[in-house]
C-alpha cells in the first residue's frame, strides 16, 4: 500500500492543477471588455467597464480610475473584491462610487453572447455589453 501512495498523490495533484477555470474568466474571451450600459434599469451615462483577463482576476476602468480585484467564485456566481483602484479625482466621482458600490454587491453572473448581466442577492442588476 505504501508504494502506491506517492503515485496516487501525484496523479491527484496533476488532476487538481489541470482543471479548467471554473470562474467567469473560463467562460468569456480573455481579451473581451464589457462596458456598463445600465444599473438597476437606468442608463449609466459615465464610462465604466470590466474584463476577466486571467483566472481569478477582474479589472477595468471606472469613470475616474482604473481598478482590479480578485474574483474566484465559480460561475455563475461572482464575488468581486476587494477592489483596488487608483486615486484620481474627477467630476464623475459620484458615478464611480455608484459603480463600485453596485459591483461589490453583485452575486450572480450571466453571459449571453456579447451581454454580461450581473445580479445582486437583493435584486440589483448591472448590464454590460462587449465593446467591439
Tell me the whole-structure pTM to 2 decimals.
Answer: 0.83
Q: What is the pLDDT of residue 12?
A: 39
Closest CA to 101 of 74, 62, 75: 62
Summarised one tens digit per residue, pLDDT across range 23-46 is 999 999 999 999 999 999 999 999
Across the range 119-130, mean pLDDT stands at 96
Summarised one tens digit per residue, pLDDT across range 8-19 is 444 433 344 445
Cβ–Cβ under 8 Å, residues 102 and 44: no
Q: What is the pLDDT of residue 19?
A: 56
Summarised one tens digit per residue, pLDDT across range 64-119 is 999 999 998 999 999 999 999 999 999 999 999 999 999 999 999 999 999 999 99
Count other Cβ atoms within 10 Å, centred on residue 113: 7
Q: What is the pLDDT of residue 21?
A: 79
Domains of the chain: 21-130 (2.40.128.270)
Return the higher-pLDDT residue of 28 and 1.
28
Amino acid at each position: 500500500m505504501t508504494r502506491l501512495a506517492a503515485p496516487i498523490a501525484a496523479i491527484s495533484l496533476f488532476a487538481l492543477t489541470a482543471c479548467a477555470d471554473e470562474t467567469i474568466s473560463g467562460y468569456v474571451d480573455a481579451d473581451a471588455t464589457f462596458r456598463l450600459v445600465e444599473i438597476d434599469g437606468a442608463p449609466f451615462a459615465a464610462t465604466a467597464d470590466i474584463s476577466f483577463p486571467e483566472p481569478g482576476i477582474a479589472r477595468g476602468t471606472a469613470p475616474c480610475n482604473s481598478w482590479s480585484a480578485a474574483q474566484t467564485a465559480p460561475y455563475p456566481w461572482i464575488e468581486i473584491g476587494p477592489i483596488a483602484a487608483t486615486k484620481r479625482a474627477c467630476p464623475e466621482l459620484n458615478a464611480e462610487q455608484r459603480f463600485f458600490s453596485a459591483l461589490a454587491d453583485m452575486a450572480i453572473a450571466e453571459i449571453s453572447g456579447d451581454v454580461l448581466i450581473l445580479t445582486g442577492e437583493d435584486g440589483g442588476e448591472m448590464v454590460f455589453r462587449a465593446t467591439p
